[in-house]
A and B are shown apart, each in its own frame.
Chain A
Amino acid sequence: ASCVQHRLVVRDASSLQILQLYTCLDQIQHLEWSSDSLFILCAMYKRGIVQVWSLEQPDWRCKIDEGSAGLVASCWSPDGRHILNTTEFHLRITVWSLCTKSVSYIKYPKACQQGVAFTKDGRYMAVAERRDCKDFISIFVCRNWQLLRHFDTETQDLFGIEWAPNGCVLAAWDTCLEYKVLLYSLDGRLLSSYRAYQWPLGIKSIAWSPSSQFLAIGSFDEKVRILNHVTWRKITELEHPATITSKKTIVYKEVEKSPTVGTERLSFPPTRALASSLFSTQSKYDISQVPVSLQYIKPVADRANPKVGVGMLAFSADNCFLATKNDNIPNAVWIWDIRKLKLAVVLEQLCTIQCFQWDPCQPRLAVCTGSSRVYLWSPAGCVVVQVPGEGDFQIMSLSWHSSGDSMLLLSKDNFCVCYLEREEV
């Protein structure tokens, strides 16, 4: 599904054929599929309206109007039948039910980056709240929206919460002024708290491993600390220095290839394909010899939210690799082998890395840097894929299909789907 201005276009994922076209009342800001892929919600924050469309019955209509309460965020509940709207100024979260047309309110939600978290199996929802300058977490049962647990957290300013994939542990971390990670069990008991250091800027990003065995914490001091789920203590610190000296890491460097155009084929006026190939540079990967020094950027000292530290963390689906990005070295992706807890590969690109995502089935990483190429890495090697087309297609973000066969590449105005062929064995 994609939205253009105020129209919603639904296409088939394998053929990109347009299946449905819906028109909404205003420009769509947010688009979300329900968990059973039967409904799509379109949120228009300016008007405070959410419209829901059904795929099965195109005539079905639903419109939720928040009125003067305004709308800041909107999302589905994991059962696909309730919509949670966050009103302006985070006054409250309203839970609209599509089955019973009933409304529930959650008061005092916290205005933070990840204030609402659902467990992977969709049973429980944790909401961060703040009353009287104190942070609380409420756990609700998604089936009937009953409050299960309500407890306070020892944080200064709760920044985010995330469930472990096994649904039994909730990680809550503090604002970047305070390095603190609190781990709560499902029934609200504090299992452990972890603090690496006190004064410098703290946590930037957090990721759970898919088996819930590890919690990786990326911080502003350019290190990633990994905690284990048995003792909740640090098992290792992964550093991101600007020079790589270890002989066991492979460094792939993106190198520009000069475009090869046969002089006989040049024609006047030049065809479109030829022109695009002349202007777009091809690139390929080269293996650099260790020691390698990467481009290191020192951040400006007096700005807030400096581009320092480990800003992106992602575990691979088979729990073997961890990909990180150090914002000080914005052109490199660091891939760590979790079984050996060592740096396995470094990918050095030409431009700043915008986004990377692991394939949900295999250990394959797709990276995009804002150029018209998507980069794929797997333990077998890495490859540069050029997006064919005229003009510049600057890939800003990408998203894998849940089967791992195709990938969505998004630029500012367009998107394209990249299909990956399976190898015939």
Chain B
Amino acid sequence: MGDWKTITVPVLSSDSKNIPPYTSERKRSPTSMSSQVLHLSLPSSKSMHSFFSAFCTEENIEQSISYIDRELTTLGFPSIYAESKGKELNLVSMVNCMNELLVLQHKNLRAQEEIEIQHLKLGSDMDHLQNCYAKLKEQLELSKREIVGLQERDRQLQSKNRNLHQLLKNEKDEVQKLQNVISSRATQYNHDMKRKEREYNKLKERLHQLVMNKKDKKLAMEVLNYVGRADGKRGAWRTDKTEARNEEEMYKVLLSDYEQRQKQLLLENTELKKVLQQMKKDIISLLPPQKQKPKERPEDGLVLSDQEEDIGELNKENMWELSCETVREQLTNSIRKQWRMLKNHVEKLDNQVSRGHSGTLNEKDVISREDHELETEKLELEIQQCKEMIRTQQQLLQQQLTCDDDTTLLLQDCYLLEERERLQEEWRLFREQKKNFEKERKSFTEAAIRLGLERKAFEEDRGAWLKHQFLSMTADCKSENLTTPSAFLRSSDPDIRLVRSVSRQRRPPSVLSPTVSPEPCQISQYIAQNSVASEKPAADNMPNLWVESDDKEETEECTKSWEDSGLGTLCRNLHMEQLP
């Protein structure tokens, strides 16, 4: 800047007096650069003129020209003097110099502008940076304050935490103390209780002794008569055998209970194993679809194949019959693995579905839905058809039922008639048989009557004959008759009995009153009953036989009186069997 000044000023003015001030101005210029330059850059033309004229006046032209020349040469320009010595000016060189000076001037101006621009830029940058710096300083201050605040809080919380920990510890200690107190009190109470109990036991013992010592005069137990045991058995003595039996029974009871429980547990186990097997099969059936998408995870395919091989092997081994630990573990592990795979599969499907919803629709889904709809339609059609068929069938059935009402009734009637006829036939047969039976009975009774009569006659004859014989025998020899009559008597015991009975009967027929007859009837029935019920114990049999033997005679008496009634014949028949 100073250069510009020095250059311009001496050109404009050639006042020798102004040179020292100009030099002084030159000196001053570096100090007051910018403002003065700016000022001077906009001088009015008049001042410029005055300034310019101040350096060079008409008096000091030569001095000023020589001065200018000296300056130019020092600056490197060619001299403005002509080559020849003298004071002639080289106009061309002067013009060139002027041009050069102007170019320089332009350059310098441009440089100055650029510098000024840069200066401005730098100034604005500086401002900007200073602002930033100020802001950052503020932020830094704020953050520092925040940090301090947070640190404070942290410290407070930590102190709180410590306090709480301390409290917790105190509480725990208290709890522990209380527990100790409780346990110590409990032991103390137990000890006291035991002491009191021992005293109490002593009292009880004393009381027991007193009670046992006092012999009550009244019987402790009065029973009218003994009661049979509930199960009918008699009491057993206490022996070792019974003790052993008791132990046996107890162990039997326990064993049976354990066996039952074991059976139940076995059943449960087999059922659970079956369920596990089924689950495995189901999982296997679900897993194959994974094989169709090998792109996603090729590793799974390999794993699957291995797994399936294992599964196949395990299935072949018929797992549920084996129950050892390793097999059980294998089963559960395989199921767990497959379950995990199934889970992964389901998760993948879920992801796919979500992707499908958000992104493009998978064609497969659409097709499947269409298939689904088609199938549902088909099913609906089928259902309708079935319903119609059912309806038609129902109608047909109803028609059949309604039009065949009469025929069914007729049929029913036919059946009833058939049955009735059958029944009537049976009735007829039954009646015929009844008649036959009655006829036979009558014939039998007649026959019995005849027999009786014949017997009577026979016995009368016999009696007469015996009488004859006896009389003849006694008439012949008296001494030898003892044996024979006895022998005879023995052989004809029943005959004599019959004789006796006959004689008895002959004497007083009036003795047999109607009142007697029902009794023997009953007795005979009793006999009949006794003959039938032969299960009575041996001890009781004797009196019955006695009764029987007593009644035999009586019944013999009565049978003859009952020859007309069927009962009598029955009795006699039975009687005949009973006679030894």
Binding site for B on A (CB under 8 A): 35-36, 39, 54, 59-69, 79-81, 87, 89-92, 96, 98-101, 103, 123-124, 130, 132-133, 141, 144, 146, 148, 156-157, 166-168, 177, 185-187, 199, 229-230
Contacts and interface: CB of A to CB of B under 8 A. Distances in A.
13 contacts: A60-B225, A64-B220, A65-B218, A67-B214, A81-B227, A90-B204, A91-B211, A98-B227, A101-B221, A132-B198, A167-B257, A185-B254, A186-B254
Given A91-B208, A186-B250, A36 B221 contact: no
Contacts of B251: 187
A69 to B, nearest CB: 5
Nearest to A131: B201
Interface in B214-242: 214, 216, 218-231, 235-236, 238, 242
Contacts of B214: 67-68
A144 B194 CA distance: 35
B238 to A, nearest CB: 6
A148 B247 contact: yes
Contacts, number: 112
B198 A99 contact: no
B453 interface: no
Given A61-B222, A168-B254, A133 B230 contact: no
Contacts of A148: 246-247, 250
Contacts of A99: 226-229, 235
Contact of A79 (B198, B225, B229, B249): B229
Contacts of B167: none
B265 interface: yes
B221 A96 contact: yes
Contacts of B249: 123, 141
A32 B94 CA distance: 159
Interface in B396-410: none
A100 B235 contact: yes
Nearest to B229: A99
B227 A79 contact: no
Contact of A65 (B221, B228, B242): B221
B230 A80 contact: yes
A181 B247 CA distance: 26
Q: Identify whether the interface residues of A are mostly helix, strand, loop, or mixed.
A: loop
Given A65-B218, A87-B211, A101-B226, 14 more contacts: A81-B227, A91-B208, A96-B221, A124-B250, A130-B197, A133-B197, A141-B249, A144-B242, A156-B190, A167-B253, A185-B254, A186-B250, A187-B254, A229-B261
Nearest to A92: B208
B221 A141 contact: no
B243 interface: yes
B224 A61 contact: yes
Nearest to B243: A146
B229 to A, nearest CB: 5
A146 B238 contact: yes
Contacts of B204: 89-91
B163 interface: no
Contacts of B229: 79, 81, 99
B219 A98 contact: no
A229 B207 CA distance: 43
A146 B190 contact: no
Contacts of A64: 220-221
Given A69-B211, A186-B253, A133 B198 contact: yes
Interface in B286-343: none
Given A99-B228, A144-B242, A91 B207 contact: yes
A144 B236 contact: yes
B182 interface: yes
B219 A65 contact: yes
A133 B198 CA distance: 7
Nearest to A63: B222
Contacts of A87: 211
Given A60-B225, A146-B246, A36 B220 contact: no
B505 to A, nearest CB: 51
B411 to A, nearest CB: 34
Given A68-B214, A79-B229, A92-B208, A101 B223 contact: yes
B220 A65 contact: yes
B377 to A, nearest CB: 39
